A and B are shown apart, each in its own frame.
Chain A
Amino acid sequence: MAETVLTNAERRRTTATGWQGIVADWSSDQRAFKNVSWGKAMMWIFLLSDTFIFGCFLLSYMTARMSTTVPWPNPSEVFALTIAGQHIPLILIAIMTFVLISSSGTMAMAVNFGYRHDRRKTAMLMLVTAAFGAAFVGMQAFEWTKLIMEGVRPWENPWGAEQFGSCFFMITGFHGTHVTIGVIFLIIIARKVWRGDFETERRGFFTSRKGNYEIVEITGLYWHFVDLVWVFIFAFFYLW
């Protein structure tokens, strides 16, 4: 109710831009985030907290790597694959990177088609995104299996500093969990889109609220974040 009535004072605040806009928004004692629904704001705040979690993981990895007297295993060699007789460094990780970026591309387009109420394209693009995500997790499972077979453990590995294993399993494991959860949510939301829940204002089973196509964008925010984290893991863990 309160949201529908914009007082004159509030309209003036909403139109301020730049630093004045920030001060006006934060001091308006109603909503700091104008034009952003609570769902989207909360997803952003969740992602911020997740940033700190992954930040701490990468920091502990940095600390372990900087403080060890034993040489760090060379990721370029550890993650190399021999394909058709060719020894290619880091190739699996490169493919995983391209797969995840592609999934982000399809997700961004799904959000766009969602707001255009194109149910078919939205649902299909979300399912393609989920398929890319599942492929990514599959390749990660292959990578883990390969490394475990080669003798990598959280406490030892054949190539150098013992901390390599614990950092690797912790960081990629946590990221893979995020991807898996994302795939599950993509499929759930894609089903709702396909069924037309947001056209008929069908109530959700859990919150019994009416949904709208913004949920596609919120799911997309989570998915892009997973891709974003991978950008940092790729740079700091695999390339450094």
Chain B
Amino acid sequence: MAEVTLHATTHTPPVAHAEGHQHPIKLYLVVWGWLFVLSTCSYLVDYFNLQGYLRWSLIVLFMMLKAGLIVAVFMHMAWERLALAYAILLPPLLLLVFVGIMVFESDYTLLSRIIFFKAGA
């Protein structure tokens, strides 16, 4: 198995992009265009005053698509080795744990405020 992968990859030496990425300019223009479209979409979510779960899921969807395009193409992460990509992209996922903790915390704070302060204030 190792022999096979070795052969498959020796044709494209990783040293190739020491001199940088030689992508056609068109690629960047296409991504630029998509970012404009996605931004317009997220603005329209507000313009048409969508509410509730539809609003939130659309906002997050457009946000993730835009972030993905910027990181993958503009920041060239799609062409980096996985060791770098995972080292940079996985740690931020820990923030989701933090989000979970703080959701519980703010629910608790809100509850205490309603019980102890709302009546008096």
Q: Which positions in A face B, CB cutoff 8 Å?
A: 12, 14-22, 25-26, 32-36, 41, 44-45, 47-48, 51-52, 55-56, 59, 62-64, 66-69, 76, 89-90, 94, 97-98, 101-102, 104-105, 107-109, 111-112, 114-116, 213-214, 217, 220-221, 224-225, 227-228, 231-232, 234-235, 238-240
Q: Which positions in B face A, CB cutoff 8 Å?
A: 2, 5-6, 9-10, 14-15, 17-23, 25, 28-29, 31-32, 35-36, 39, 42-43, 45-47, 49, 55-56, 59-60, 62-63, 66-67, 70-71, 73-76, 80-84, 86-88, 91-92, 95, 98-99, 102-103, 105-107, 109-110, 113-114, 117-118
Contact partner of A47 (CB less than 8 A), chosen from B18, B81, B82, B88, is B88
Contact A227 to B92, CB < 8 A, known contacts A16-B5, A17-B82, A67-B109:
no
Contact A15 to B10, CB < 8 A, known contacts A33-B83, A112-B28, A114-B20:
yes
- A224: chain B residues at CB < 8 Å are 70-71, 74-75
Q: Is the CB of A66 within 8 A of B82?
A: no
Q: Is the CB of A213 within 8 A of B35?
A: no
Contact partner of B46 (CB less than 8 A), chosen from A44, A45, A69, A89, is A89
Contact partner of B70 (CB less than 8 A), chosen from A12, A25, A33, A104, is A104
Chain B residue nearest in CB terms to A79: B46
Chain B residue nearest in CB terms to A223: B74
Q: Is the CB of A67 within 8 A of B106?
A: yes
A47 to B73, CA, bound (A): 17
A62 to B104, CA, bound (A): 12
Contact A17 to B9, CB < 8 A, known contacts A59-B99, A101-B35:
yes
Contact A105 to B63, CB < 8 A, known contacts A63-B106, A213-B20:
no
Q: Is the CB of B28 within 8 A of A34?
A: no
Q: Is the CB of B106 within 8 A of A105?
A: no
- B82: chain A residues at CB < 8 Å are 17-19, 21-22
A177 to B59, CA, bound (A): 25
- B114: chain A residues at CB < 8 Å are 69
Chain B residue nearest in CB terms to A97: B39
- A220: chain B residues at CB < 8 Å are 74-75
Q: Is the CB of A51 within 8 A of B92?
A: yes
Contact A107 to B74, CB < 8 A, known contacts A25-B83, A34-B83:
yes
- A63: chain B residues at CB < 8 Å are 102, 105-106, 109
Chain A residue nearest in CB terms to B60: A235
Q: Is the CB of A231 within 8 A of B70?
A: yes
- A213: chain B residues at CB < 8 Å are 20
Q: Is the CB of B63 within 8 A of A115?
A: no
A19 to B91, CA, bound (A): 17
- Output the least CB separation between B14 and chain A (Å): 5
Q: Is the CB of A34 within 8 A of B14?
A: yes
Q: Is the CB of A115 within 8 A of B22?
A: yes
- A101: chain B residues at CB < 8 Å are 32, 35-36, 39
A56 to B99, CA, bound (A): 9
